[in-house]
Amino acid sequence: MSLDLSHPPVLGALPPQPTVDDFSDRTFGRITALMYETVGLSMNETKKSLVASRLAPRIQRLGLRGYDDYLALLLDEHEAAEFQMAVDLLTTNETYFFREPHHFELLEKELIARHSRAPLALWSAASSFGDEAYSTAMLLTELQKSGQIGPDWSILATDISHRVLLSAKEGVYPVDRLRHVSPERLKRHCLRGDGPAEGQVMVKEEVRSRVRFGQLNLCRPITGIGPFDIVFLRNVLIYFDAETKRAVIDRVAATIKPGGILFMGTAEGRAHAESGLEPLVPGAFRKPVKR
């Protein structure tokens, strides 16, 4: 079934916004099953009101009659962009630079302690709008200039959302997103906007050029990337059920070099014992070196 959206409704012709009372259990179940099967997003019946409220404005904007019409749109293989929009609406991409600073402190100590100028490969596995990847690039730029690491380092940043990746590549942020960046570091790595761009900052090209962005679904087999010395897998596991979470950790851990480190959100629990990862500090785990 294909819905003709070539002529979006004018503002005055928008239908009423649907409510949770218009959202049947059957349609809710089909939407959540689709999200789980496709991207691993787990939402039980307690999330029905949340899903309804997140999707309602979009349904109204498209001029659809309700949730059943929107489900039909999501099931249409020619409407991949709309499916991606739904994923964005149902997940929270709020982030900021140098989130969970103790992880970056550990990373800095780890790299300095290696006393090596060997190549480094890092992966931001759920990069969202790029805050995490650029934070890491700022740190590594500074370590390189001080001679603590060599010049051959790279950062891969991936996310399931094409929309947030496009934004991340631009490297432009509200200044509040950099509230944990020191004034010295901010001046070193960013340009402040003025005029219409006042209140925004742009990450300098020197930093942006060291980050490569790509789309990746963590709930599918991971091929063609790695191995990595450091992987960030933070603030994404909260969207998965226990089984999916274990599978994602195992997939990601397989890309880490022996002796490498996996960072997870400190509120997301521990890596399961069978993964073989050894805890270092809350949210940080080392992949053991086989003997």
Please say if 152 is a catalytic residue.
no
Q: Indicate if the pLDDT at residue 18 is higher than 70.
A: yes
CA gap 13, 3 in Å, rounded: 17
Choose, from 99, 131, 159, 208, the residue flagged as catalytic: 159
Choose, from 22, 30, 54, 69, the residue flagged as catalytic: 54
- Kindly tell me the sign of the dihedral angle through the C-alpha atoms of 203, 96, 150, 249: negative
Fold designation for 11-90: Chemotaxis Receptor Methyltransferase Cher; domain 1 (1.10.155)
In this predicted model, what pLDDT tens digit does every residue of 210-257 receive, in sequence order? Answer: 999 999 999 999 999 999 999 999 989 988 999 999 999 999 999 999
Q: Where in the chain is the domain with CATH 1.10.155.10?
A: 11-90
CATH number 3.40.50.150 given to 101-286: yes
In this predicted model, what pLDDT tens digit does every residue of 165-214 receive, in sequence order? Answer: 988 999 999 899 999 999 999 999 999 998 888 899 999 999 999 999 99
Supply the pLDDT for residue 12.
56
Q: Where in the chain is the domain with CATH 3.40.50.150?
A: 101-286
Pairing of strands 211-215, 153-159: parallel
Q: Which two tokens stand for residue 273?
A: 């014992």
Question: Helix (H, G, I), strand (E, B), or coil: what is residue 2?
Answer: coil
CA 20 to mean position of chain CA atoms? 28
Please say if 58 is a catalytic residue.
no
